[in-house]
Amino acid sequence: MEAPPPPRLLSDIKAPGNLASVRHIILVLSGKGGVGKSTISTELALALRHAGKKVGILDVDLCGPSIPRMLRVQGRAVHQGDSGWVPVFVDREQSISLVSVGFLLEQPDEALVWRGPRKNALIKQFVSDVAWGQLDYLVVDTPPGTSDEHMAVVDALRPYSPLGALVVTTPQAVSVGDVRRELTFCRKVGLRVIGLVENMSGFVCPHCSECTNVFSKGGGEELARHAGVPFLGSVPLDPELTRSLEDGRDFIQDFPDSPAFPALSSIAQKILSETPVGLS
């Protein structure tokens, strides 16, 4: 029996469109819900912005669109322009732009009760019809799992050669097991894994600085070593990070002395090192 052909890599095809001026596309993935993909997506975008990059965020977590609140732009709306949908700009300098299904809901507590084909159609429309303009990075926040929605995202982005996937886990074995399947998904669809991040990795006491491993320790790093993918770092539980997300504040700017800041900054620097200096 002949061996099956290798998966077609995402870099194999090029196509024009509204993403043609986006230099690097990063998908934030996890096989497990509640590990903090939206948090990592938001803070990565903020860190890249503070590194002088122009960043877009595409929030395709259709059932849990939390990034508008994290960036304090809930209640805004996307508008139709000459070249497509115009994203919501987070700051006056227009260095971070965001598109989310949260902007399309009439009420903030409205549920998106859609079947797969309609969700997939919206994802494809987000990819093809948003006028992002010139971006250094587009960060794509995805729902948990390896379902139709993930295939729709990967297939829609395939012509634009994504830089790869940033995979998020928490330290405990239950999460690591699910995320291991996400790594298998990446291999099957030919999506390069930029690296793995262990989120909620210990709690550093703000009074004595002692670290308590609330959710075990080291599961993400061990998984990365076993899977042969880069380990980008561990982000601790940090009340200041939680508070900044609840209030829609810029954590990278406002909390440089917090326990999570060095980890998030280091992850962003490793992402920057993945891209040729001349392109960014």
Residue 76 CB neighbours (<10 A): 17
d(CA 238, CA 224): 23
The DSSP 8-state label assigned to residue 102 in this structure reads: G
> Is the Cβ–Cβ distance between 24 and 171 less than 8 Å?
no
Q: Residues with Cβ < 8 Å from 185, sequence gap 6 or more?
A: 29, 31, 146, 150, 191
36 annotated to bind ligand: yes
Distance CA 156, CA 179 (A): 22
Residue 186 marked in a binding site: no
CA quadruple 109, 113, 116, 121: dihedral sign: negative
Distance, in Å, from the CA atom of 239 to the CA atom of 245, rounded to the nearest integer, reads 10
205 is in an annotated binding site: yes
By C-alpha distance, which of 13, 25, 260, 32 is closest to 166? Answer: 25
List the helix and strand counts (H, then E) for the chain: 9, 11
Q: Is residue 31 a known part of a binding site?
A: yes
> Smallest Cα–Cα separation from 138: which of 248, 207, 58, 28?
58
- What are 156's two structure tokens? 């829609």
As annotated, the binding site for [4Fe-4S] cluster includes 205, 208
Per the annotation, binding residues for ATP are 31-38
Residues annotated as binding site? 31-38, 205, 208
